[in-house]
Amino acid sequence: MKHIIKDVEPDVLTGYKLNSTNPSYINFCKKSQRKLNLNDALLDEQGYLCCYCMGEINSENMQIEHWKPQSKYPKLDLDYNNLFACCEGNKHNPKRKKGSENIHCDSKKSSLELTINPLNKDCETETSYFGDGTINAKNSVYNKDINDYLNLNYENLKRNRKSAWIKVLSNLTKNRVKNNEINKLINVFSEKNKDGKYHPYCQIIVFFLKKRQVAGT
């Protein structure tokens, strides 16, 4: 997962809450343009990555995730710090085999409550990766979120993460990148590009680049 730093709440959401006698997420979304504006704000904030799996998303294949579920925390349904852009979790894939083991992220989580939070830096510092793309946490509670609630070790996600790292690793080997140049690459994959986007699955790349950097010192 990647740590998300919240921007200022977008005007479209602030204005709606100030000018509504009984504001609610459902009523907010009744005007499609308001919803699109909120989508755009979340996408820009997150660099067009899903808040959980780090897969690339856009305005057409994203959904808004309530970290604290609406069913249990209705008063937080318009709290901007509770709102994230999330992928569809494979649920609309026509080739997907039926079963909850083949969906992930919010589609898997549904109304379950998480402990691991993209707003906390430890979603990065407490997690690590293996060569096959597996994500693992240092504590059992986070691992339950990762595996049981979000299904982030779904085979397709593992394969995608592994592929993202292998491409970078191949370039490192091919171009004989020296250790003192790895820090530049870490910065590249830690920051948004000129289009305001992060590289998909960037954290697994940063994780292994840092390991190579330490090993080479």
8 A C-beta contact, residue 179 and residue 217? yes
User: Is residue 149 in some structural domain?
Assistant: yes
Arithmetic mean of pLDDT over the chain: 93
Which residues lie below 8 Å from residue 177, measured CB to CB, with a gap of 6+? Answer: 171, 185
Which domain covers residue 115, as residue numbers?
Answer: 11-215
User: Is residue 3 in some structural domain?
Assistant: no
24, containing H or E segment:
none
Position 42 scores a pLDDT of 98
Distance CA 114, CA 126 (A): 15
User: Is residue 5 in some structural domain?
Assistant: no
Position 216 scores a pLDDT of 66
User: Is residue 6 in some structural domain?
Assistant: no
Position 98 scores a pLDDT of 75
User: Is residue 4 in some structural domain?
Assistant: no
Task: Please give the model's pTM, rounded to 2 decimal places.
Answer: 0.93
User: Is residue 17 in some structural domain?
Assistant: yes
DSSP state of 59: T
Distance CA 59, CA 63 (A): 8
8 A C-beta contact, residue 157 and residue 55? yes
Please count the structural domains in the chain: 1
Question: What Rg value do the Cα atoms of the chain yield, rounded?
Answer: 18
User: Is residue 190 in some structural domain?
Assistant: yes
Q: What is the pLDDT along the chain (217 residues), one digit of tens a residue?
A: 999 999 999 999 999 999 999 999 999 999 999 999 999 999 999 999 999 999 999 999 999 999 999 999 999 999 999 999 999 998 877 676 777 778 999 999 999 999 999 999 999 999 999 999 999 999 999 999 999 999 999 999 999 999 999 999 998 888 787 777 898 999 999 999 999 999 999 999 999 999 988 776 4
User: Is residue 92 in some structural domain?
Assistant: yes
